[in-house]
Amino acid sequence: MTTVCLFTRDLRVHDQPVLHAAAEQSDGQVVPLFVVDDAIEGFRVPNRARFLAESLADLDAGLRDAGARLVVRRGDVAAEVRKVAEEVDATAVHVAGDVSAYAGQRRGALEDALGDRELVVQDAVVTVVSPGTITPTGGDHFKIFTPYHRKWADVETREPLDPPRGLRLPKGVKAGAVPKAKDLTDGDTAPGLLPGGEKAARARLDDWLDRIDEYAQGQDLPARDGTSRLSPYLHFGCLSPTEIARRAGTGSEAAAQFVRQLAWRDFHHQTLAAVPRASRQDYRDRGDRWRRDDDEFAAWAEGRTGVPIVDAGMRQLHHEGWMHNRLRLITGSFLTKSLYLDWRLGARHFLDHLVDGDVANNQMNWQWVAGTGTDTRPNRVLNVITQARRYDPDGEYVRRWVPELAELEGKKIHEPWTSGTEVDYPDPIVDLDHVGETFRAARGA
């Protein structure tokens, strides 16, 4: 008997329930398959393409250690899986459950293409708790995080699974070449991109668990490296969220705060699973009639709004393909609330650059920031200067990313247009004193 393990964004061998189940069913004779799916635009975004290529190379190495190797095909995912399944006469294809509208379509297309062959969809691979496992009374998903988190914390999770051993590829299967980044995209990648792959992921996780206590103090201070930066590894599944949650535990305040972020991740996944249109449409319609201003949008995207903390965040994004969460909140709020430009524009720009760019986390967080999502205070407008003073008190973060302001001292760096200092830096593109009223009037709130 032969099975196919279709990898999607679960590119690992540790705690890998899909591979585990596929191998168990066929006593080890399994085709570990990845299809470079032409329908997935994200595979062509340079930062994610490079991370993906590195992750696939590493997955291939992990599978070789287990006795097999990665088989790669390119094209329409359902058609390619069918061909491979027919070639090896597979009894079943195993795949991880996922939440986006596209993942739903893919599942349907696989079911159709496979006919009599079984499609086994594995839960709790991409998230700790699968969408639908916990629901509120009388509803299909939680709309507010706090009650979700309470139930989430009580769900029993599995013991992480060891990497498999004794896998065998069926005879005659052509493996195909593991793609390099240049096979996926011809765009430039961010100079400060993290390396992809399970090995790098596990090293980072070990290091993070040794210093997790910094999270209590450092979580919201972008000048420090006080968060895990595990997000791209979670997005591509180089790490199992279940394993991370269990290893982090809740033994300290810092660990509990960190694990709570994994619950936020699951929360947004269950929201998108229940309302797939929320990747494009307002989750809650606030009757917005967003402004359109291409120059303001370009200034935001390029980090030249004249608001140092906002520009610093956008420049970090371009340099690292990653941005600190506090800055995602500040730059997102600035775009949607201070400039009153459509959250979809910002979400698109983030997805074009973030190495962790993820439909559930990105779109649902953008909606949260814009007040069209699950935020219980949808009309709040962050005061970016107060935020900058609180979370970058010495201006260290701004100084790092906006070098033209580096000479300005301390808190003054956050408001150079009032400092009277000669610097080559633009005036703010919006009058920050009145953005709250303007936003509320525009929304009719």
Say whether residue 12 binds ligand FAD (CB under 6 A): no
Say whether residue 370 binds ligand FAD (CB under 6 A): no
Q: Which amino acid is it at 180?
A: K
Residue 102: closest CA among 237, 330, 280, 321 = 280
Q: Smallest gap, in angstroms, from Cβ of residue 185 to ligand FAD? A: 18
Residue 204: closest CA among 214, 213, 196, 192 = 196
The CA-based diameter of the chain, rounded to the nearest angstrom, is: 77
Phi then psi for residue 3, to 5 deg, are -125, 165
Say whether residue 227 binds ligand FAD (CB under 6 A): yes
Do 157 and 319 contact (CB within 8 A), yes or no?
no
Site string for ligand FAD, 265-304 (x = CB under 6 A): x--x------------------------------------
Q: Smallest gap, in angstroms, from Cβ of residue 317 to ligand FAD? A: 10
Between 221 and 262, whose beta carbon lies closer to ligand FAD? 262
Determine the Cα angle at 244 with ends 243 and 248, to 5°.
Answer: 115
Between 218 and 393, whose beta carbon lies closer to ligand FAD? 218
Q: What is the rounded CA–CA span in Å between residue 61 and residue 69? A: 7
Q: What is the rounded CA–CA span in Å between residue 364 and residue 384? A: 21
Residue 149: closest CA among 264, 247, 67, 245 = 264
Pick from 228, 240, 316, 374 the residue near ligand FAD by CB under 6 A: 228
Q: Decide: helix, strand or coil at residue 5.
A: strand
Beta strands in 253-294 (DSSP E): none
Q: Smallest gap, in angstroms, from Cβ of residue 320 to ligand FAD? A: 11
Q: Smallest gap, in angstroms, from Cβ of residue 241 to ligand FAD? A: 8
Q: What is the rounded CA–CA span in Å between residue 227 and residue 25? A: 39
Pick from 236, 264, 300, 391 the residue near ligand FAD by CB under 6 A: 264
Between 249 and 410, whose beta carbon lies closer to ligand FAD? 249
Binding residues for ligand FAD restricted to 301-360, rule: CB under 6 A: 325, 328-329, 332, 350, 354, 356-358
Pairing relation of β-strands 71-75 and 118-122? unpaired
- How many other C-beta atoms lie within 10 A of the C-beta of residue 160? 16
Pick from 59, 110, 245, 262 the residue near ligand FAD by CB under 6 A: 262
Site string for ligand FAD, 86-115 (x = CB under 6 A): ------------------------------
Helix intervals (H) in 280-338: 294-302, 308-320, 325-333
Stretch that binds ligand FAD, among 222-230, 281-289, 290-298, 309-317 (CB under 6 A): 222-230
**Site size for ligand FAD (CB under 6 A):** 26
Stretch that binds ligand FAD, among 79-87, 158-166, 224-232, 371-379 (CB under 6 A): 224-232
Residues lying near ligand FAD in the complex (CB under 6 A) are found at: 227-231, 234-235, 261-262, 264-265, 268, 325, 328-329, 332, 350, 354, 356-358, 361-362, 365-366, 369
